[in-house]
Structure 1
């Protein structure tokens, strides 16, 4: 009975993960990010600090680590990418009061350090392409990937305003379902469609880096670890044969 209870608890504890992973059957666009592209990472850091950091911290990062990893001169980092009274060696927290944020948005904006690892680069990339005009919402926009999201489209001045085309279907039970099938930009943004795509990719690239700054180093080291284990296995096998030779 005890084993059965443990099994049931384990099953129910992972069910939310499956429902989250499903993501409402939303088609996700591919984010072809490149962590070796320092210029892209630098642009992504600039976009994040200018458009996202006012609400979203990356509290598991330090300004100095970002500057070092992305080849940003320390003085340039201080002058252009630190908007609080923080020192360059401190963690990247913004100055937004969480209680006030809950009043404005309904809930405090989450820290985004691990967002790319939590939701995936493709989700973020698609999400930032999926805002559309919706006057019924508090900020005048909605999102087809995250319906009724409680945040404005912070990149609207870059992308412009998108108008949604809806499709309504009726299921076997006679219940109607409406979904967004297309988004058309009014091209009022500062960027062209291709420029906006590149900007979003830069931002995604930075968030992927933020979630695991040593990812490239880990992958490179992993190859040598596997090679070492292979050599160790071969040597251990020969040693075992030598030790057991007289017995066999």
Structure 2
């Protein structure tokens, strides 16, 4: 299968590292021009250099801005009036006990993880429908269904994305625009690697071995019994953004390594 996105403009939010950067590289390798977004100009420039080295000849556009705010989303939509592919990847996470999580933290997760995708989809999806083609992807998580007891505030935000993707797909029925959510499981991103670095030093094991131990301790239902790579998650997203995925919409697509124990 050859995915050709030549002539398409893709926006990947929160894409200076990890899954987002891998998605940006994958879309560019398929011919799309890709907007890479992060909060700081320094982070965006670093990501542009990495992406350019990984995809020689790829077209990347940098946009620094905080998409966890309405003003930040509006500025991006103004800078890029048209968008063919929107990947709502931006997200924050972190453990915190339910009883110690104040209102403002719930609001912060809602604004960053949920409303960024809502606002940008509202800005561009109608225009996609007017042109008869478009792709919107919400990067959710297996935590949308397997709610972590130590991150209820995070899990709720990821469940919301699945609901929004399904509802928006119905709203855009028959337009040629597909809307899906993608649910990664434990993924060996830079942030995850940093979290495991202490155990790597202490144990003398490789990062992959420590990551696999973590998965089997905290997500024992995993069938692949290891963390996924960011490229493995990006492959699913790139496919969903392709012309070949034209009959896939309103779906919650799992790249969770079999963590969710459901049919």
> Is the shorter-chain TM-score for this pair beyond 0.5, marking a shared fold?
no
Q: Bigger relative contact order, structure 1 or 2, given CA contacts below 8 A and separation 6+?
A: 1
Larger Rg: 1
After TM superposition, the score normalised by the length of structure 2 is 0.27
